[in-house]
Amino acid sequence: MLCLRPTLSRIALAASFSLFAATAWADLELPAPSPAAKVAQRVGITDISLEYSSPAVDGRKIFGGIVPWDKPWRTGANAATKITFSREVRFGGADVLAGTYSIVTIPSEKGWIVALNKDLSINVADHNYNTKDELVRVKATTSAIPHRERMLFVFDNTKDDETSLDLEWDKLRVSVPIKVDTAAHVAGSIQTTLDNAWRPYANAARYLSEKKQDYPAATKAIDDSLALKSTWLNNWIKADILHRQGNNADALKYAQIAKDLGDKDANFFYKDQVVKALTDWAAKK
């Protein structure tokens, strides 16, 4: 009698082929209609970057056509277009804190509006735009350009304290000025560097003391650190160096300074060690 049921080996072979076919299709790469794009610019010491998907004109009517007038647009294809600022900026005249935001535009024949929104997954393809997470809304300038087939974002006219974010597509350029207070940012960076200049000397002193037992070099390094700024940490390192050399009297003085300064610091992470040392070293004095 002829058996029409497939054998186990045939079933296994078919399953293996199906799995192989599914994997092959999953690995297939084809050009996207609106490929992903990134653009970045440093303005002074502020980094600005933008991620978007770039659609093509492809013979279509763009503005007033597939991008309707007076309706919110996610300003690209696929996912939301996102802009990131590493420091606070003035975006089109509005103050914006460092962070990442989605860009939503409202194209109009009378003038464009550009908004930054805190919702990074925003989708206004159906023009159902919720403004509850909108951060700022500014006016943009527009100008005519030669035909550009694929949508492009570019930073233009960049100086130490300003740049222009330009959107170009079809025969239109949309521009928003971005300003940064580079002078204040640099001043803050310099002050932060000076405030932390004591740390490398303190780290060197600890290493020289604990790993090398080179106490003269460690003492020189920690004294240089203390000359720049007196903190609970470098006073504690100074105390430890003195204790390692058997000078408990002076070690106690610096440990007490470390304790007094540390009690005012939320990050006094050696508190238990300092308190224990004050007790133990006093007993050996």
Domain ranges of the chain: 36-180, 196-284
Query: pLDDT band at 27, cuts 50/70/90?
Result: confident
CA distance 261 to 272: 14
Residues 148-158: what's their mean pLDDT?
A: 98
Which residues, in sequence order, are bridge partners of residue 140?
Answer: 112
Is 0.85 topped by the overall pTM? Answer: no
Q: At what angle do helices 232-244 and 215-228 cross, to 10 degrees?
A: 160
- The phi and psi torsions of 50 (rounded to 5 degrees) equal -145, 135
Which residues, in sequence order, are bridge partners of residue 83?
Answer: 50, 101
From 214, 231, 216, 227, select the one nearest 265 (Cα to Cα). Answer: 231
Q: For residue 221, with 0-12 CB atoms within 10 Å meaning exposed, 13-18 middle and 19 or more buried, which class applies?
A: buried
CA distance 136 to 21: 49
Q: Is the pLDDT of residue 57 over 70?
A: yes
Residues 165-178: what's their mean pLDDT?
A: 98
From 76, 64, 74, select the one nearest 110 (Cα to Cα). Answer: 64
What ranges make up the beta strands (E) of the chain? 36-43, 46-53, 82-85, 89-91, 94-96, 99-106, 112-117, 134-156, 162-179
Decide: helix, strand or coil at residue 186. Answer: helix
Q: For residue 105, with 0-12 CB atoms within 10 Å meaning exposed, 13-18 middle and 19 or more buried, which class applies?
A: buried
Q: At what angle do helices 248-262 and 232-244 cross, to 10 degrees?
A: 160
For residue range 190-245, what is the model confidence (pLDDT) as tens digits?
999 999 999 999 999 999 999 999 999 999 999 999 999 999 999 999 999 999 99
- Run of H or E residues at 9: helix 8-27
CATH topology of domain 196-284: 1.25.40
Q: Is the pLDDT of residue 10 over 90?
A: no
Q: For residue 264, with 0-12 CB atoms within 10 Å meaning exposed, 13-18 middle and 19 or more buried, which class applies?
A: exposed
Decide: helix, strand or coil at residue 127. Answer: coil
Decide: helix, strand or coil at residue 37. Answer: strand
